[in-house]
Structure 1
């Protein structure tokens, strides 16, 4: 332990490594994007395909600049190998501009929506195509007739100059192409936005009689917020099932429209082929054979082994085989802090605290300069009942921070302080201290506390909180919306956020997440620790781990019954 705690004081040289990537605007590749290590003067530029290569060391900051786009700054980490970026337009405020027609606010559009059939609700808010640049085709009200027996036939018969593949007998295989090209095999299919829920294939299950409004967005500028997945255009559908409620406002959190979440079954349908075959196996022996078959093909993917471990441990209760998967492939996981943290999350979700603790030790050795390493180790010791060691880690973190060996962050400091105070308050007798000496922050006492942690610092996602009254609030962990926060996380070395649900709002709360990907095009893992009646004798804790892999889709993380004031 003494050696571990002294590691931040050691100065070790970091060697340059080759970092590769591709840069787009969400649909098209960007050529001549300038990529340079901040403070140096030897940039590289992306080629005609938007690709680049640059040599950098952990701790360097890469600066990406392109005329008309927002600059992007990314801190290189120990695991950084690929950085695939989507640049967004840089809108600057102009002075002394005369407006001949004022654009309506989201609140105004939402208020007019029920009576104005030419306003559409999308995953990114309300849109009035009449006031938006770009080509849009709309159907409203009685223009929508149930032609054919499924959505594919409806589109095929109602719209000219679009190509529809698939039949009503197999609607889920349908694809719609809005832009004509010389070869259909090089075309990109349109995506569907149904009541704010994004689908990359045609929602053939949708009852045509429920459709109230439909719009087709051809213009890339209108589809840019959907990202590269919308390169083929967007078909927006509003149905009779969606309702819009008045929304409250909370300072610091964006008020948003509630998004429909994918069910567990829909997520399973989009899982990798090997995972679907594992689940379809009729026996454990057959599943083991499927695993061995795919292990040869996916030997270079650590996420394959994490999926296989989770399947055999949690879904088939074949824990011996699950552990053997990790043991046999430990050399593929070792040295990769991102993958090891994902496995630690799975262990904690399964209640295997001792195994999680050993992994957090490995991560600590790999990342002694990360603030998160101290919090993870301290909480791992606490979960294993080793309260004195947990207290020592919290104390060591504060000391190294004070001495300047670690870089501080106000956001992270508050989270670790809440954990530290709770440890002394709840376990003070075992630590030989008076529990009355440390108390919970009054803001948290008796509340429901949610702590979110993610294994990949490059993960971009949106959290949505829906209160008992149906009002929705978003927190966006994206470079486009929250770049300063992400930069602070990387400088200080943490990947966590904390939210508190006030006891004065009792009832069921729902928490959803929309995954927007990471720079290496791999899955990300999100751990949610829920504390109810925090800091009281009735405090309870639950850990849930979620694999995020389906970009642009909203999925439910958990539903919380907030007990309110006791």
Structure 2
């Protein structure tokens, strides 16, 4: 047993009381409230099963880690290890579908139980495009550091300092900022926001001094006594306003007097505002764009609960376990007739999942959308035991433990993630999300846990009207785009794609997370639009699901939350996912 499993076995011993409370949830999942369905089960076929071992490599022979291997039209899947090795149970004639980041997908028909070596070809065209794009960005950054450019930023909250917060011994604003935990820097060097592991060269923070973009060297010349306030911004509002010039974050400095550090010829002020992000589209809503499958249309034609059940039983026989989307949509449909039967469908899917993490995540997402957080907690615990090397497993557990009121376990997990004390794991790639969520947790439930010894930064409650949107997804290899449109019709795009975010996806695969959060501060001034578009092909029988949670008045006593899920295989064009009213 590896160190991660040892650590979590110890951790789960502490959660014995919680697991006792979840016993009825387990009973539901194994189908004690309803009879076992006659649907085809992959795991029930024992004859003619072949245990196949193999290796996934590049054409040059280099092993490929985290390659996805699944049997076509089933839920049976596995991943390659650090040596490219894998093991999977299948039947002669099954087709393996193999995919990996930056590689072309391959299909192989397996005829015997012999060891198989699979070489994937690189997606050469994509790699060439990525290299050209990186070269172009580097040239632009060197030649025109203050030009107007498109937006390309990260979303994080803002922190502020007033004049009274500066240390008396500091001789420059730079010295005051370099100690801030949100920033990193070195003596004589530039400041940048703390970044995820795998991002070797973080972009420098943009400095805006009295509404004018200036070089960071100004901070080393500026006396703290001259400064009224400093604000550090990593939010959508900041990135939309300043575009990719603010990709490394924005540091706003307001002085007590007006200073002009502009050295442009002709005395023209330098503009950092993005110019080519005007929004003029009129898109369908996601509800308007989705059409029911013939199966769901038949369910909706039922005139009674009994008739709907008969139709569902017929579908499970004809479909088998070939459609994750059908089971989740059927579960959603039956909530109008009987919530318990809706849960029965999820428990049936759980038994048929073959422990496929993508299927289990789909079940957990659906439970959360329906407000069944205790059932979601059971699934997330199973996922953590299956994937103890995925940092997402621990973050999901901390979130769902908070939802079901197990605050001590949630706080324990947040602490372990914050201080990186879980063996063999590095939580730095999601550090800002951990800090943001733990601060919210402590602002709402501090009286229920021990908080002594935590940094003061975590104990300062949010006092701003803030909207936070957290996205998660089931497949790290699926490409999609999120677009945020501000009330003044300026847009900002974030793409989960190899071309636009290669480093992010590499870190995602290496650390085992699939999440991204965005913050909109001072959102009261109007309505924001969120659009979504799928950029790559998706697996039809196990489509990628995106879960998003919108927090309004984030961290405040009047906070509201709403969770929804979206099957990306039904997104055939850019559509409006949601709208947020300020």
**TM-score above 0.5:** yes
**Which of 299, 311, 331 lines up with 1:290 in the alignment?**
311
Once the 2 structures are TM-superposed, how far is the Cα of residue 537 of structure 1 from its aligned partner?
Answer: 2.8
Question: Contact 1:458/1:518 (CA < 8 Å) preserved in 2?
Answer: no
Q: Structure 1 residues 61 and 470 mapped into 2: Cα distance closer, same or farther (>3 Å)? A: farther
Distance 1:387 1:308 in 2: 33
1:277 equivalent to 2:298? Answer yes
Once the 2 structures are TM-superposed, how far is the Cα of residue 329 of structure 1 from its aligned partner?
Answer: 4.0
Aligned residue for 2:303, secondary structure, equals coil
**Residue of structure 2 equivalent to 1:534:** 554
**Residue of structure 2 equivalent to 1:339:** 359
Distance 2:104 2:52 in 1: 16
Distance 2:79 2:405 in 1: 42
**Residue of structure 2 equivalent to 1:318:** 338
Question: Contact 2:401/2:409 (CA < 8 Å) preserved in 1?
Answer: yes
Once the 2 structures are TM-superposed, how far is the Cα of residue 17 of structure 1 from its aligned partner?
Answer: 5.2
Once the 2 structures are TM-superposed, how far is the Cα of residue 520 of structure 1 from its aligned partner?
Answer: 3.7
Question: Contact 2:290/2:570 (CA < 8 Å) preserved in 1?
Answer: no
Once the 2 structures are TM-superposed, how far is the Cα of residue 284 of structure 1 from its aligned partner?
Answer: 2.8
Distance 2:528 2:327 in 1: 34
Which region of structure 1 is more displaced relative to structure 2, 361-370 or 534-543?
Answer: 534-543
Distance 2:82 2:104 in 1: 10
**Residue of structure 1 equivalent to 2:442:** 424
- Larger RCO, structure (CA 8 Å, separation 6 or more): 2
Aligned residue for 1:537, secondary structure, equals coil
**Residue of structure 1 equivalent to 2:321:** 300
Calculate the TM-score normalised by the size of structure 2.
0.55
**Residue of structure 1 equivalent to 2:80:** 57
Once the 2 structures are TM-superposed, how far is the Cα of residue 441 of structure 1 from its aligned partner?
Answer: 7.4
Once the 2 structures are TM-superposed, how far is the Cα of residue 491 of structure 1 from its aligned partner?
Answer: 0.5
**Residue of structure 2 equivalent to 1:471:** 490
Distance 1:560 1:83 in 2: 43
**Residue of structure 2 equivalent to 1:6:** 7
Deviations 1:497-527 (A, max 9, x none): 0101121662111111112345644422111
Residues 33-432 of structure 1 mapped to structure 2, 5 A cutoff:
35=59, 38=62, 57-60=80-83, 72=102, 88-89=125-126, 90-91=128-129, 249-250=242-243, 251-252=246-247, 255=277, 257=279, 259-264=281-286, 266-269=288-291, 271-303=292-324, 304-313=326-335, 316-399=336-419, 401-402=420-421, 405-410=424-429, 412-432=430-450
Once the 2 structures are TM-superposed, how far is the Cα of residue 490 of structure 1 from its aligned partner?
Answer: 0.8
Q: Across the two proteins, how many residue pairs are aligned to each other?
A: 366
Distance 1:497 1:321 in 2: 33
Deviations 1:381-405 (A, max 9, x none): 0000110010111123345x35761
Distance 2:557 2:304 in 1: 45
Calculate the TM-score normalised by the size of structure 1.
0.56
Q: Which runs of 5+ in 2 are unaligned?
A: 11-50, 65-77, 86-100, 106-117, 136-146, 151-239, 248-273
Distance 1:535 1:265 in 2: 30
Once the 2 structures are TM-superposed, how far is the Cα of residue 320 of structure 1 from its aligned partner?
Answer: 2.5
* CA RMSD between the two structures: 4.2
Distance 2:556 2:350 in 1: 40
Distance 2:442 2:385 in 1: 26
Deviations 1:179-208 (A, max 9, x none): xxxxxxxxxxxxxxxxxxxxxxxxxxxxxx
Q: Structure 1 residues 403 and 349 mapped into 2: Cα distance closer, same or farther (>3 Å)? A: closer
Residues 444-483 of structure 1 mapped to structure 2, 5 A cutoff:
445-483=464-502
1:495 equivalent to 2:514? Answer yes
